[in-house]
Amino acid sequence: MKRKYMFCALFSVIFCFFAFANKPVSAAETTYKIGTDLTFAPFEFQNEKNEYVGIDIDLLNAIAEDQGFAVDLRPLGFDSSLQGVQSNQLDGMIAGMSITDERKETFDFSDPYFDSGIQMAVAKDNQDIKTYADLKDKTVGAKVGTESARFLETNQKKYGYSIKNYDDASGLYGAVRNGTVVAIFDDYPVLGYAISNGEAMKLVGEPEKGASYGFAVKKGQNSELLAKFNAGLKELKSSGKYDEIIATYIASSESTSDEASEMVKVEPKKDVYRISSDSAFAPFEFQNEDNEYVGIDVDLLTRAAEMQGFNIEFNFIGFSGALQALDGNQADGMIAGMSINDERKKAYDFSDSYFESGIQIAVKEGNDSIKSYEDLEGKTVGAKVGTESADFLIENEDKYGYTIKYYDAADQLYAAVSGGQIDAMMDDYPVIGYAISQGQKLSTPIEKEVGGQYGFAVKKGQNPELIQMFNEALKEMKRTGEYDEIVGRYIKNGSATEKKADESTVAGLIKNNYKVLLKGLWNTLLLALISFALALIIGIILGLFSVSPIRALRIFAGIYVDIIRGIPMMVLAFFIFFGLSDAIGITIPDFAAGVITLTLNASAYIAEIVRGGIKAVPVGQMEASRSLGLTYTRTMQKIILPQAIKIMIPSFVNQFVISLKDTTIISVIGVVELLQTGKIIVARTTQSTYVYLIVAVMYLIVITALTKLAKVLEKKVK
């Protein structure tokens, strides 16, 4: 009996121990996936340590700690978070979300955790806008789908302004800076935070009372999560923790207004600084679906120019071309994901590092044979010429026993992996990550190597104020968190980029890019037509010189033809665009340099066509004409040339087709013709096979049409 009681007592103790011991553990094991916005300061944003903070984040974490549950935070952006909750991929979302009747049909909301409001802001030096009445006949901005946008639409007729909508805060605030809009409306805490962190704006009037923000779950689901949030929020408010969190961002941001002026303003010494850059190096510089150049490099330097008050003019001509432009004094600075190293420091002065890079091996998706560097033995690995990846592969070639294959551009490198021409490739890890997010079928089986630092460069000893202005602005952007916002826009959100159509298909690529492709085709035709027209004039004159009875003219024509035909056209293009511009001290525009190159090249061949056509006319006709008393010039005009032209026409048409094809070479100096347009699209979409197929078909159609037209013309002439 005693044993029985002892056993029962022991069982009770064990039961109680596990019951109490497991209570907090089970609560801690409940993890909720919560979506939030990417950049909506002061509610959610990344700080200098790349950690997500803000009113929403801190409240959520404090409530989770108080209520004993864990949070798996998913910073997906507002729209993606909405979709995530609706599709049951997320348990809830907190993203400064206004509680509205329309949203209540889809979501269940918590008790309001913040009472918002909207307010008007104008440029800091704007003295004209003091009331809503001053907005008459002016343009006002707001973010798409926000409470501010609805307020402006409601009051548009009353105050007589025009509305311009923007997708994000950077576009909205930039519109005030460049004068696109005279005023903007946004949530007052967001505006206040931006102004306190250096945005050159000021608030006008009192805030309009807005909707309250709430934590949301899908309607009818996760009611226990909503109950925990409400209970935790109530506890935070009663303990004073809530006010402390709000004050951390709202109050402290106001107190930093004096610190925002710490950035030193540097006086620019030029009206416009010319900046050379790469043309296709996503996510640092590339063309988006609106055919505008964007990327980390572009946005950082553009913002630095705005903050420091200097003007820039970009020239996107590829990495090698950008370097040569800087060396040849055609550019004042260069930003193109350029690694800072001791060798380059001998020729260039660099800014503070704006990005810490790294390089990584990538293989075709499904390739399980490569899991370490040792597995590369006997295989071929690709890299872009002159890059950090190429240097790493050269350094370790003997150690791991692979063969290196070099490529000039990223699209060639990635296509070689996809097509099986190489077994693996090495490139900067953010570039590989962006390519994968855009649908490139790659995997990264080996951990990345710590890379160098990227820097903004000027020619050594030149434009020191440009480096100083960039450094000051970069330091300020890092202090305010704007740097993290710009980088996060591309590195963290590449896979979430909205597309107008599915660019993994030919139809989608054409639908998204037909305008820019037609523009590239127009540039190709324009280059070919202008250069060929000029080449005809020069070529015919030189051709006549080559059959002239005057020996000096024949020698001159022969030397010209030999020199031009003996120089590869790419070398000629580089010499005219970079070398000649530097020699004469005047920058030759890329299009003009392209026309000159094509003209010189084609004129040499046309001169030979003319010479051959004239020589094809029987020599007896010249002799007979001269014996009848006609002069040499008259004989050429009336007898020889009319016959020679009929002989020349097929060759002229053939030469025009060659000139049209030769325009692809001119892309090396930055002219955005049809092929370069295709390369730019490939850099964004990574769909090299389909893009180049479309480009090839466009060339085929144009050249076939020209050939048919030439045959008709030839028949009429004969």
* 670 phi, psi to nearest 5 deg: 100, 0
pLDDT at res. 56: 92
**pLDDT over 70 percentage in the chain:** 88
At 15-28, the pLDDT tens digits run: 343 333 343 434 44
Q: How many angstroms separate the CA atoms of 203 and 76, rounded?
A: 30
Residue among 421, 450, 417, 423 nearest 436 (CA): 417
Tokens coding 259: 């610190």
Q: Which DSSP helix (H) or strand (E) runs through 635?
A: helix 632-635
At 110-136, the pLDDT tens digits run: 999 988 788 899 988 888 898 898 999
CB contact set of 86 (below 8 Å; sequence gap of 6+):
106, 218
**More confident: 525 or 614:** 525
Spatial contact of 527 and 573, defined as CB atoms under 8 Å apart: no
Angle at alpha carbon of residue 98, lines to 96 and 100, rounded to 5°: 160
Average pLDDT, the chain: 82
Q: How many angstroms separate the CA atoms of 642 and 636, rounded?
A: 8
Q: How many angstroms separate the CA atoms of 456 and 353, rounded?
A: 8
pLDDT at res. 250: 62
Q: Work out the number of other CB atoms within 10 angstroms of the CB of residue 14.
A: 10
Residue 13 has pLDDT above 50, yes or no: no
pLDDT at res. 195: 76
Q: How many angstroms separate the CA atoms of 55 and 130, rounded?
A: 30
pLDDT at res. 170: 66
* 57 phi, psi to nearest 5 deg: -65, -45
pLDDT at res. 683: 62
Residue 93 has pLDDT above 90, yes or no: yes
Residue 310 has pLDDT above 90, yes or no: yes
pLDDT tier at 323, thresholds 50, 70, 90: confident
The model scores a pTM over 0.85: no
Q: How many angstroms separate the CA atoms of 100 and 97, rounded?
A: 9
- What are the residues facing 299 on neighbouring strands? none
What integer is the mean pLDDT of 212-241? Answer: 92
Q: How many angstroms separate the CA atoms of 434 and 439, rounded?
A: 9
Residue among 546, 538, 545 nearest 655 (CA): 538
Tokens coding 371: 């899991």
pLDDT at res. 491: 67
pLDDT at res. 262: 67
pLDDT at res. 626: 67
Spatial contact of 316 and 416, defined as CB atoms under 8 Å apart: no
Least confident range from 10-19, 128-137, 686-695: namely 10-19
Highest mean pLDDT: which of 320-329, 598-607, 699-708? 598-607
**pLDDT over 90 percentage in the chain:** 29
Angle at alpha carbon of residue 564, lines to 586 and 699, rounded to 5°: 90
Angle at alpha carbon of residue 448, lines to 443 and 454, rounded to 5°: 115
What sign results for the dihedral spanned by CA atoms 602, 607, 608, 614? positive
Highest mean pLDDT: which of 39-53, 486-500, 645-659? 645-659
- For the purposes of burial, counting CB atoms within 10 Å of the CB of 344, is it exposed (0-12), middle (13-18) or buried (19 or more)? middle
**More confident: 552 or 5:** 552
pLDDT at res. 208: 83
pLDDT tier at 307, thresholds 50, 70, 90: very high
Residue 411 has pLDDT above 60, yes or no: yes
What integer is the mean pLDDT of 471-480? Answer: 88
**More confident: 675 or 632:** 675
pLDDT at res. 717: 63
**More confident: 530 or 674:** 530
Residue 557 has pLDDT above 70, yes or no: yes
At 416-470, the pLDDT tens digits run: 888 888 999 998 888 887 777 777 788 889 988 876 788 999 998 889 899 999 9
Cα dist. 572→408, 576, 670, 672, 687 in Å? Answer: 19, 6, 14, 18, 31
* 303 phi, psi to nearest 5 deg: -70, -40
**More confident: 144 or 552:** 552
Residue among 317, 272, 278, 407 nearest 594 (CA): 317
DSSP state of 376: G
Residue 500 has pLDDT above 50, yes or no: no
Sheet architecture: strand order including 201-213: 162-166, 139-143, 183-187, 114-123, 201-213
pLDDT at res. 168: 65
Tokens coding 623: 């002799």
Q: How many angstroms separate the CA atoms of 561 and 546, rounded?
A: 10
- For the purposes of burial, counting CB atoms within 10 Å of the CB of 267, is it exposed (0-12), middle (13-18) or buried (19 or more)? exposed
Residue 543 has pLDDT above 50, yes or no: yes
Residue 253 has pLDDT above 80, yes or no: no
Residue among 546, 543, 523, 545 nearest 598 (CA): 523
Highest mean pLDDT: which of 257-261, 457-461, 633-637? 457-461
What integer is the mean pLDDT of 289-296? Answer: 83
Residue 488 has pLDDT above 80, yes or no: no
pLDDT tier at 617, thresholds 50, 70, 90: confident
- For the purposes of burial, counting CB atoms within 10 Å of the CB of 50, is it exposed (0-12), middle (13-18) or buried (19 or more)? exposed
pLDDT tier at 304, thresholds 50, 70, 90: very high
* 260 phi, psi to nearest 5 deg: -65, -20
Q: Work out the number of other CB atoms within 10 angstroms of the CB of residue 677.
A: 25
Q: Work out the number of other CB atoms within 10 angstroms of the CB of residue 545.
A: 21
